């Protein structure tokens, strides 16, 4: 197994717990699916959010995933930059992958414009 950092991002409709929860669950689910991960392969996950999102903690939502009790999770606020994508949740996951497995970065919704080179996967 080799340790990799996997990036991703998504957007949510508004600054509500329900909207953030839906976006985080979709992002985490897709990252796990695309990389064929089981919880014991996940070392840590850092979530950052734009300053217009403060209704709840993304890590608290991710912590509800089955088997994620031992995953180190952290929330932080993304640096404020004029013109940044609104309502954006970014993720940085440190995981163990098989030696021949390439990380599949996960950019969903409007966040796919942030890294079009990483939005699609093989």
73-108: pLDDT as tens digits: 999 999 999 999 999 999 999 999 999 999 999 999
pLDDT confidence of residue 3: 97
How do the domains of the chain map onto residue ranges? 2-113
Fold of 2-113: 60s Ribosomal Protein L30; Chain: A; (3.30.1330)
- The residue that leads in pLDDT, 69 or 119, is 69
Helix H or strand E segment including 22: helix 17-34
pLDDT band at 118 (very low <50, low <70, confident <90, very high): low
pLDDT confidence of residue 112: 84
**10-37 pLDDT per residue, tens:** 999 999 999 999 999 999 999 999 999 9
Side-chain half-sphere exposure of 4, counting CA atoms within 13 A: 18
Q: What is the dihedral of CA 31, 33, 36, 39, to 10 degrees?
A: 70
Q: Cα 2 vs. chain centroid, distance in angstroms? A: 20
């Amino acid at each position: 197994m080799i340790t990799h950092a996997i990036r991703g991002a998504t957007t949510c409709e508004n600054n509500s717990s329900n909207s953030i929860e839906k976006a985080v669950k979709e992002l985490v689910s897709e990252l796990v699916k695309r990389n064929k991960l089981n919880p014991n392969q996940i070392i840590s996950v850092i979530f950052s959010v734009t300053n217009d999102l403060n209704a709840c903690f993304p890590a608290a939502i991710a912590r509800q995933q089955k088997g994620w009790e031992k995953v180190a999770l952290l929330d932080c606020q993304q640096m404020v930059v004029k013109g940044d994508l609104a309502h954006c949740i970014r993720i940085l996951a440190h995981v163990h992958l098989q030696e021949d497995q390439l990380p599949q970065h996960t950019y969903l919704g409007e966040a796919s414009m942030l890294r079009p080179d990483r939005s699609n996967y093989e």
